[in-house]
């Protein structure tokens, strides 16, 4: 592809309803997929930047995901940490829907 990303199928569209998230892996990378109520799709690293916890085991509230361990929150659209104790932002990845597939663009 000309955009330099490596597009990988990480889920099926029907696996993630609106307002839901799903844990996925691509090689060693743990990725969280989010399908928001506005029908937009987003992907971030699934491991919290504060300590080790999987965000998909926390709570998705609108466009914010709350970590299950210390209740830090991130905006899933841009990966920004939005409250303490978060001191680092999450990596985000582009998402593309191709028919029934959810594709995520990983760094090549």
Binding site for ligand FES (CB under 6 A): 48, 50-51, 53, 67, 69-70, 72, 85
Cα→Cα distances 104→1, 51, 63, 86, Å: 13, 25, 18, 25
Q: Cβ distance 94 to 102 under 8 Å?
A: no
Least Cβ distance, residue 60 to ligand FES (angstroms): 14
User: For residues 31 and 48, which CB has a smaller minimum distance to ligand FES in the complex?
Assistant: 48
The 8-class DSSP code of residue 49 comes to S
User: For residues 70 and 96, which CB has a smaller minimum distance to ligand FES in the complex?
Assistant: 70
User: For residues 51 and 97, which CB has a smaller minimum distance to ligand FES in the complex?
Assistant: 51
Q: How many CA atoms lie within 13 A of 40 on its CB side?
A: 9
User: For residues 30 and 50, which CB has a smaller minimum distance to ligand FES in the complex?
Assistant: 50
Least Cβ distance, residue 70 to ligand FES (angstroms): 3
Least Cβ distance, residue 8 to ligand FES (angstroms): 25
Q: Phi/psi zone of residue 66: left (φ > 0), alpha (ψ -120 to 50 degrees), beta?
A: beta
Distance of alpha carbon 61 from alpha carbon 19, whole angstroms: 8
Least Cβ distance, residue 84 to ligand FES (angstroms): 9
């Amino acid at each position: 592809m000309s955009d330099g990303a490596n597009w990988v199928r990480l889920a099926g569209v029907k696996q993630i309803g609106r307002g839901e998230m799903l844990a996925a892996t691509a090689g060693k990378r743990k990725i969280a997929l989010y399908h928001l109520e506005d029908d937009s799709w987003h992907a971030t690293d699934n491991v919290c930047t504060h300590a080790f916890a999987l965000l998909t085991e926390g709570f998705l509230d609108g466009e914010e995901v709350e970590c299950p361990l210390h209740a830090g929150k991130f905006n899933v659209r841009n990966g920004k940490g939005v409250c303490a104790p978060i001191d680092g932002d999450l990596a985000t990845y582009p998402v593309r829907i191709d028919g029934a597939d959810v594709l995520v663009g990983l760094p090549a």
